[in-house]
């Protein structure tokens, strides 16, 4: 729920009047989703015991089998639609994340190009697809979930901590969108809870997730910190960028100077 609301922050450039519509979308979506989730759990507890819920691999499906009768097939279909919507949001926002990172020089330049036909970061979408396929090579989906949830919760918590630090150290800093300090504090508490819970319940998976993150350090040092790259290295990057632009019919974005 909170992660879905956080996705909106990745696409502010593509929103109309983001300083008005972004807070409005968050204020509408989060209370609505919260109410739906609470009512769904109330319905589950009204039909099933806690032991039955723990024993069920799919609580919603078990609930539907007991209450919907011959129409129980609707629940798996609704779950599929919900999953599709969540994946669609993740794909939509993660590609913009790669795109902006490349535009700032933190990722290879070929990711900072936009399709001339669809006006979308096509290379970033393909890159995200390839990375996803690599992650899906794991034969245990629960381990994969622990990897991603731990790392994601930890980094979101660090980002919120940075926001709180800036609110304390630079209170007069200009902020286009500003909310009550209680909301980021509450959000950070949730991130800490998710991080600590995963760390205590699956320490091995969390350790592997930390190792995966650490492997990005040498890539960052070579790709970003190392500015005096040899000509042959830059030549390879330029060729990859040119090949990607031809294959995806993409070009670099023209940024307006303030």
Same domain, 145 and 222: yes
Percentage of residues in the chain with pLDDT exceeding 70? Answer: 96
Q: Indicate whether 132 belongs to any domain.
A: yes
Q: Distance between CA atoms of 171 and 166, rounded to whole angstroms?
A: 7
User: Which is more confidently placed, 242 or 253?
Assistant: 242
Q: 189: closest CA among 147, 161, 169? A: 161
Q: What is the pLDDT of residues 171-190, one digit of tens each?
A: 888 887 777 888 888 888 88
DSSP letter for 255, please: P
- The residue out of 20, 42, 72 marking a domain boundary is 72
Domain count along the chain: 3
Q: How many helices (H) does the chain have, and how many strands (E)? A: 11, 2
Q: Distance between CA atoms of 47 and 90, rounded to whole angstroms?
A: 33
Q: What is the pLDDT of residues 166-176, one digit of tens each?
A: 988 988 888 87
Same domain, 117 and 197: no
Same domain, 209 and 147: yes
Q: Indicate whether 149 belongs to any domain.
A: yes
Q: Distance between CA atoms of 102 and 110, rounded to whole angstroms?
A: 8
The pLDDT, as a whole number, for residue 202 is: 79
Same domain, 8 and 41: yes
pTM: 0.72
Question: Can you give the residue range of the structural domain that contains 29?
Answer: 1-72
pLDDT at 39 over 90: yes
Same domain, 148 and 21: no
pLDDT at 258 over 50: no
Same domain, 133 and 143: no
Same domain, 60 and 161: no
């Amino acid at each position: 729920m909170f992660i879905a609301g956080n996705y909106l922050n990745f696409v502010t450039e593509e929103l109309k009047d983001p300083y008005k519509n972004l807070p409005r979308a968050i204020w509408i979506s989060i209370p609505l989703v919260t109410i739906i989730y609470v009512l769904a759990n109330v319905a589950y507890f009204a039909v099933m015991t806690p032991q039955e819920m723990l024993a069920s691999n799919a609580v919603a499906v078990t609930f539907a089998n007991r209450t919907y009768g011959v129409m129980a097939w609707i629940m798996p279909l609704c779950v599929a639609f919900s999953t599709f919507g969540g994946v669609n949001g993740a794909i939509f926002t993660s590609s913009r994340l790669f795109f902006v990172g490349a535009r700032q020089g933190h990722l290879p330049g070929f990711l900072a190009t936009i399709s001339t036909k669809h006006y979308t970061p096509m290379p970033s979408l393909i890159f995200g697809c390839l990375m996803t396929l690599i992650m899906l090579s794991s034969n245990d989906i629960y381990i994969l979930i622990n990897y991603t949830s731990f790392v994601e919760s930890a980094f979101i918590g660090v980002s919120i901590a940075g926001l709180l630090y800036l609110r304390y150290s630079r209170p007069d800093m200009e902020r286009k969108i500003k909310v009550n300090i209680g909301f980021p504090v509450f959000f950070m508490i949730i991130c800490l809870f998710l991080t600590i819970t995963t760390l205590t319940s699956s320490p091995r998976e969390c350790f592997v997730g930390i190792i995966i993150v650490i492997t990005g350090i040498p890539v960052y040092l070579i790709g970003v910190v190392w500015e005096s790259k040899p000509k042959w290295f830059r030549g390879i990057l330029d060729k990859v960028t040119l090949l990607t632009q031809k294959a995806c019919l993409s070009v670099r974005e023209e940024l307006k100077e303030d």
